[in-house]
Chains A and B, each alone.
Chain A
Amino acid sequence: MSHGNHDQFRLGFLTAVEDAERGFVGGLLITNRFGRPLEFQCTAPVKPNRTQEILYGPTLKPYVLCELIGRTLLEKVGVKPQLVLVESLDLLDLRGAISAPVASLIRVENPSRKRSSDQAENRQSEQDLPNTIKLGNETIAFNPAHDEDRSEIQKFAKHVPVDADLCEPFERIREALVETIRLSMSRSA
Chain B
Amino acid sequence: MSNVQSDVDKSPASDGPFQGPHWSPLQHIDKLELGSHTLDSLDELLAEVSVMSIPVAMRAEILSSGLNVALHRWPKVTVEPLNLPKSPGMLPTWKPTRQKITTFGLQFPEGISLLAKSKVDENKDSKTSEISPLGGPAMEIMPDYQPPTVASLVDSLAEPPKKKQITRIKPPDDALSIEERLFYLLQPPLQSWLAGQEMIMPFEPFSYQYEGIGWLFSKSSALLADEMGLGKTMQTITAIRLLIRSGQARRILLVCPKPLLPNWQREFQTWAEELPFVVVEGDGERRKLTWTMPGVPVLIVNYESMVRDFAAFAEGEFPKFDLIVLDEAQRIKNRTSRTAVTARALPRRRSWALTGTPIENRPEELGALYEFLEVVPPNATPDLRQLQALAKQFILRRTKNLVMKDMPPRLDRDAYLELLPSQKTAYDMAEKEGVVQLNDMGDSITVQHVFELVLRLKQITNFDPLTGESAKLDRLEADMEEIASSGGKAILFSQWTKVIDWLAKPMAKYGALVYHGGVPTKQREPILTRFKEDPNAHILLMSYGTGAVGLNLQFAGYVFLFDRWWNPAVEDQAINRAHRIGCKSQVIVTRFISKDTIEERIDKVLTEKRELFAAILGDGDDTNVSLSMNAAEIFGLFDLKARHGKGTRAIGPKPAA
Interface residue ranges, A against B (CB under 8 Å): 1-6, 29, 31, 33-44, 46, 51, 55, 67-69, 72-73, 76-79, 112, 115, 158-165, 168-169, 172-173, 175-176, 179-180, 183
Contact = CB atoms under 8 A, between A and B. Distances in A.
B149 interface: no
B101 A72 contact: yes
A175 B188 CA distance: 12
B98 interface: yes
Contact of A73 (B103, B110, B189): B103
Interface string B457-490: 0000000000000000000000000000000000
A40 B112 contact: no
B145 interface: no
B108 A38 contact: yes
Interface in B168-196: 171, 178, 181-182, 185-189, 192-193, 195
The 5 A-B residue pairs with the shortest CB-CB distance, nearest first, are A44-B102, A4-B110, A35-B188, A72-B101, A41-B105
Q: In this complex, which of B94, B136, B185 has the most chain A Cβ atoms within 10 angstroms of its Cβ?
A: B185
A139 to B, nearest CB: 18
**Is the interface on chain B under 10, 10 to 19, 20 to 34, or 35 or more residues?**
35 or more
A131 B194 CA distance: 33
B113 interface: yes
22 contacts: A1-B114, A1-B295, A2-B114, A4-B111, A5-B247, A29-B186, A34-B197, A36-B198, A38-B107, A55-B96, A112-B160, A115-B161, A161-B134, A164-B192, A165-B192, A172-B186, A172-B187, A179-B181, A179-B185, A180-B178, A180-B182, A183-B178
Given A36-B193, A161-B136, 16 more contacts: A2-B114, A4-B110, A4-B111, A5-B110, A5-B113, A37-B186, A37-B188, A41-B104, A44-B104, A51-B94, A72-B103, A78-B105, A158-B134, A168-B192, A176-B182, A179-B185
B198 A34 contact: yes
A14 to B, nearest CB: 13
A59 to B, nearest CB: 12
Contacts of B198: 34, 36
A1 B112 contact: yes
Nearest to B161: A115
Contacts of A6: 110
Interface of B: 94, 96, 98-99, 101-108, 110-115, 132, 134-136, 160-161, 166, 171, 178, 181-182, 185-189, 192-193, 195, 197-198, 245-247, 295
Contacts of A158: 134
B45 to A, nearest CB: 43
Nearest to A51: B94
Nearest to A40: B106
Contacts of B132: 161
A44 B245 CA distance: 30
B657 to A, nearest CB: 42
B186 A2 contact: no
B170 to A, nearest CB: 10
Contact of A1 (B106, B115, B195): B115
B182 A179 contact: yes
A68 B98 contact: yes
Contact of A77 (B105, B111, B135, B160): B105
A163 B132 CA distance: 12
Nearest to B192: A35
B106 A172 contact: no
Contacts of A42: 103-105
A176 B103 contact: no
B107 A39 contact: yes
Contact of B103 (A5, A43, A163): A43
Q: In this complex, which of B105, B112, B132 has the most chain A Cβ atoms within 10 angstroms of its Cβ?
A: B105
Contacts of A40: 105-106, 108, 182, 186
Given A112-B160, A162-B134, A165-B192, A180 B104 contact: yes
A79 B161 CA distance: 37
Nearest to A183: B178
A163 B291 CA distance: 42
B188 A36 contact: yes
Contacts of B160: 112
B113 A3 contact: yes
Contacts of B181: 179, 183
A44 B103 contact: yes
A187 to B, nearest CB: 9
Given A42-B104, A176-B185, A180-B182, A2 B192 contact: no
A67 B98 contact: yes
A77 B108 CA distance: 12
Contacts of A68: 98-99, 101
Contacts of B192: 34-35, 164-165, 168
Given A37-B186, A183-B181, A4 B103 contact: no
Contacts of A180: 104, 178, 182
A46 B161 contact: no
Given A4-B113, A6-B110, A161-B197, A76 B103 contact: yes
A76 to B, nearest CB: 5
Given A168-B192, A176-B182, A179-B182, A39 B106 contact: yes
B224 to A, nearest CB: 24
B94 A79 contact: no
Contacts of A1: 112-115, 295
A168 B105 contact: no
Contacts of B107: 38-39, 78-79
Contact of B186 (A4, A34, A176): A176
A65 to B, nearest CB: 12
A78 B198 CA distance: 24
A120 B252 CA distance: 53
B449 to A, nearest CB: 61
A38 B111 CA distance: 10
Nearest to B182: A176
A182 to B, nearest CB: 10
A13 to B, nearest CB: 10
Contacts of A33: 134
Q: In this complex, which of B113, B135, B246 has the most chain A Cβ atoms within 10 angstroms of its Cβ?
A: B113
Contacts of B188: 31, 34-37, 168-169, 172
